[in-house]
Structure 1
Amino acid sequence: MTNRIDRKLAELGLSLPEAAAPVASYVPVVEAGGLLHLSGQLPFVDGTLVTGRLGDGVSLEDGQAAARACGLMIVAQLKKYLGDLARVERIVKLGVFVNAAADFTDQPRVANGASDLMVALFGDAGKHARSAVGVPTLPLGAAVEIDAIVQVSASALG
C-alpha cells in the first residue's frame, strides 16, 4: 500500500512532512486492540504552522488547506509508527477541531480538506466517521487540529 500511497501523493502534487514530535506530555500514536489512536495533529505547510481563526481572517479555502495539512501529518505519523502503510485497513474516524469565530458554521466544509484526502489516498478504506467542532482556540494558535482512529492488521512479525 505504501507504493500506492506514494504514487497517489505524487499525482496530487503532495508529499508527506516529517512526522511532528509531541509538543507536550503525550505520544503521537497508541496501538490498542487493532486500532491506532493518533493524537491531534497540527497543520504544518512547508514547516510553518498554519495559525488563525476561521471566520476572522482565515478563509474557508485556507481552512480546508490546513485540514489537508493535518491529514498529511496523520499519514506521516502512521508511516513513522508502522514503518510503511501496508497494515492500514481503514481510516475509522477523524476528530476535527476548527479554531473558529463564534458565528462560523462551516466546520464540516473545513474538515472536508482532510476527509477528501483520506479517500483520495486510501480509496474506500479512507471513508470514515467524523466529528467537526468549532472551538475558540487551539494549541499554538493553530487554525485546525485533527486526531484519528485507524484500524490496522496484525503485525507480520507477531
Structure 2
Amino acid sequence: MAAGLRGLRRRHGGVARLEGDMTHASPDGSAPVAHLKVDTHRAGGALVCRITGDLHLETLPTVKPALEAAAAERPSLLCLDLHDVHLCDAAGLGFLLHLSRRLPLAVINPGPALARILKLTGCEQHLRVFPTVQDAAAAMQRLDHRP
C-alpha cells in the first residue's frame, strides 16, 4: 500500500516527521496513482506540517499518522501548509475539520484548487485560513490576549 513510506522519525525536540513519498498502487496493482509527502518543522511556537500531493480517502491512511503525531505534541498552533495540495476529497476535508476541533489549527496558503474546494464546501468558514505562518501566529496571539 505505501511503497515509499519509511515511517515516523523523531527529531528536534520530539517533532515527528513522516519521511518519504507515499505512493499507492492502482486498483489493478500496476502503477502508483497517488503521491503524498509530509514535512514537519517548528516555526517559533507553531508546528508546521507541509503537505505535498493529494489528500483523499486513499492517501489519508498515510498522512494521518504524521498529523496525529503532530497533534499529540499539543503545539500552541498547528499550521498545515497546503499550498501544494492539489486534490482534497470529503475524507480529507473531514479529517482537517476533525483536527481543527481538537487543537488550534491554521490552514496556510492553500493553492487555488484547494482554496476553491474550501469555499465551495463552506469549510473556509470553519477552518482558519491564512496566507503565512506568521499571519496565523499573530492572529492566534491576538485571540489569546482578548479581554
TM-score where L is the length of structure 1: 0.34
Q: Which has the higher contact order (CA 8 A, sep 6+)?
A: 1
Point out the structure with the larger strand share: 2
**TM-score, structure 2 as length reference:** 0.36
